[in-house]
Amino acid sequence: MTTFSENVSLKPFNTFGIEAKASQFQVFSSIPELQDLLNSVGASPLLILGGGSNLLLTQDFKGYVLKNELKGISVIKEDEDHVFVEVQAGENWHEFVLHAIANDWAGIENLSLIPGTVGAAPMQNIGAYGIEIKEVFDSLKAVEIATGEVHTFNKEACQFGYRESVFKKSLKGKYVIASVVFRLNKTPQFNTSYGAIQETLQEMGVTGLSIKAVSDAVIKIRQSKLPDPNEIGNAGSFFKNPEVEKIDFEGLKAEFPSIPGYQLPENKVKIPAAWLIEQAGWKGKTFGQIGVHKNQPLVLVNYGQGKGADLRDLAFKIRTSVTQKFGIELTPEVNII
């Protein structure tokens, strides 16, 4: 018989630092344990919790919260160029990146310092500094919530896109990701073209490029740009960067000549949401215990006692004002619960 803790505060388990209570709470550290818990949950509301770094809790969770603590990293096969590493979903993402670097496994160094668990990484195909995990992804195992069966998904089945996967779309709420296999490179293919990586490597006095040096540079840039959730509650970028048709971008450029845009395939242009939010007048604005970060307006913050519902309302006000000014609808990246 599985027992649950009742009325558990989720404040320590979400990086926004929002106070919200779970009616029922339990951790799992093996697949049989998870299958057992899922049996007890039945058709009640269920929240699978990783590191809580991409969540906004807007109210108490009247249902079951299951926290993933599946641990373990193992090499399952190798070929001349690659090593295939299976990582259990409850491992911390950044610690896995550091483990890979220590073992000379290349391919995820640009994804250093992203908070959260390995199991949540495929949910939104985490990305930063020119890399997304789909580039090193081999497969994953996931437990079907309705049946407890373990299914394997290859890359195609995951339908990865920009901050997207099948687990956020048609299979939303249907699976718990239990482990991920990454195909890492024995010989690094450095990607230093994005943002300030090269400049930062120079500042750091790096002469011979290494995956450790790239990781250190990415960490330095991230620390200078993004607030540390241990100091100020946040969940990284609140919205995705919108993608518009090239022809619409040209129209916007005529009206707003300084609008930045990055050309994508298929005649699309990505516009930084941070720029849109700053132009709409929100950068650095504070409203009691919550606000818009002073250096990175795409990041909403909780100064300590903020409420999730107030952050959600602020996000929707920002979205409305951006739509009114630019005719562009922002889509939240953070999972609003």
Contact positions toward ligand FAD, by CB under 6 A?
A: 15, 47-55, 68, 89, 114-117, 119-121, 123-124, 126-128, 176-177, 226, 229, 234-236, 335
Q: How far is the CB of 152 from ligand FAD (least distance, A)?
A: 14
CB nearer to ligand EPU: pick between 229 and 306: 229
Distance CA 101, CA 95 (A): 10
- What stretches of the chain show up as alpha helix (H) in DSSP? 31-41, 93-102, 155-158, 197-203, 211-225, 246-255, 273-279, 308-326
Q: How many helices (H) and strands (E) does the chain have?
A: 8, 20
Distance CA 132, CA 117 (A): 15
Check residue 332 for interaction with ligand EPU (CB under 6 A): no
Contacts of 55 (CB under 8 A, 6+ apart): 14, 16, 49, 235, 334, 335, 337
Indicate left, alpha or beta for 125 from its phi (over 0: left) and psi (-120 to 50: alpha). left
Q: Which of 163, 183, 312, 319 is catalytic?
A: 163
CB nearer to ligand FAD: pick between 8 and 126: 126
266 within 8 A of 243, measured Cβ to Cβ: no
Q: Which of 112, 237, 312, 319 is catalytic?
A: 237
Residue 50: C-alpha distances to residues 55, 190, 239 (Å): 10, 30, 20
Check residue 241 for interaction with ligand EPU (CB under 6 A): yes
Strands 290-292 and 286-287: antiparallel
Contacting residue, 14, 15, 139, 296, with ligand EPU by CB under 6 A: 296
Site string for ligand EPU, 174-203 (x = CB under 6 A): ---------------------x--------
CB nearer to ligand FAD: pick between 38 and 252: 38
Q: How far is the CB of 88 from ligand FAD (least distance, A)?
A: 10
Q: How far is the CB of 109 from ligand FAD (least distance, A)?
A: 13
Q: Is 80 a catalytic residue?
A: no
The residues that bridge with 117 in the sheet, in sequence order, are: 92
Residue at token pair 């990781």 = 215
Contacting residue, 50, 116, 229, 236, with ligand EPU by CB under 6 A: 236
CB nearer to ligand EPU: pick between 283 and 319: 283
Residue nearest to ligand EPU (CB): 236
Q: Is 183 a catalytic residue?
A: no
Element (H, E) at 290: strand 290-292
CB nearer to ligand FAD: pick between 116 and 297: 116
Helix (H, G, I), strand (E, B) or coil at 216: helix
CB nearer to ligand EPU: pick between 222 and 246: 222
Q: How far is the CB of 81 from ligand FAD (least distance, A)?
A: 26
Q: Is 165 a catalytic residue?
A: no
By CB under 6 A, which span of 3-11, 100-108, 237-245, 311-319 interacts with ligand EPU? 237-245
Describe the crossing of helices 211-225 and 93-102 by its angle, rounded to 10 degrees: 150
Contacts of 303 (CB under 8 A, 6+ apart): 232, 233, 286, 289, 290, 291
Q: Which of 91, 109, 164, 333 is catalytic?
A: 333
Q: How far is the CB of 205 from ligand FAD (least distance, A)?
A: 25
Q: How far is the CB of 260 from ligand FAD (least distance, A)?
A: 18
- Interface contacts to ligand EPU, rule CB under 6 A: 128-129, 195, 225, 236-237, 240-241, 260, 272, 274-275, 278, 283, 296-298, 333
Provide the annotated active-site residues: 163, 237, 333
